[in-house]
Amino acid sequence: EGTDLKEVYVDTVGPPDKYKKKLENYFAGSGISFVVESKADDSYRCVSAASIVAKFHRDAFLKNWEFIEPGFKDPSHKVFGCGYPGDDITKEWLKEHYDKVFGFPTIVRFSWSTC
C-alpha cells in the first residue's frame, strides 16, 4: 500500500546534521535513508527538479492570489519580485505596501519553520 520510499533528499538552509538526525529519529525503522545538504540542488538532479516544480507552483499560486485588503485590486500589486530578502523588487514592494497602522498585507510571511 502507498509508496515504497527508500531515499529522501533535503536541501536545507540550516544545520544539515541536525535536520538529518531529526528525520532519522522521526522515521526510525522505516528503512528510508536521508541525504540532507545545504545547496543540495547543486549536487542532485532530483532536488534541482523539485526546486523548479516548487517555484513554478509558488509563482502560479501568487499570480492568482486574491488580496483581502481593500485597495489591492490593481495587478501592479502582484509585482513582488522573488520574495527573498535580498531581492530589490521584493524590498521595494514591502516598502510600498507597509501600512503604519495595519502593517503588511496578509500575503507577507513573518516567520518560517521547517521542522
Q: Mind listing the pLDDT tens digit for each residue in 58-84?
A: 888 888 888 888 877 776 777 888 887
Vertex 111, ends 74 and 32: CA angle to 5°?
115
**Confidence band for 115, pLDDT divided at 50, 70 and 90:** very low
Lookup result for grid cell 500500500: 1
Examine the domain organization and report whether 54 and 38 are in the same domain. Answer: yes
When comparing pLDDT for 6 and 70, which is higher? Answer: 6
The model's pTM is 0.68
Best CA proximity match to 76, nearest among 97, 56, 61: 97
Q: Does 115 reside within a domain? A: no
**Confidence band for 113, pLDDT divided at 50, 70 and 90:** low
Q: Supply the range of the domain harboring residue 86.
A: 65-106
Nearest-angstrom CA–CA distance, 83 and 94 = 10
Examine the domain organization and report whether 56 and 70 are in the same domain. Answer: no
Q: Within a 10 A sphere around the Cβ of 36, how many other Cβ atoms?
A: 21
**What pLDDT score was predicted for residue 39?**
93
Q: Does 77 reside within a domain? A: yes
Mean pLDDT of 31-35: 96
Examine the domain organization and report whether 69 and 51 are in the same domain. Answer: no
Q: Does 79 reside within a domain? A: yes
Q: Does 22 reside within a domain? A: yes
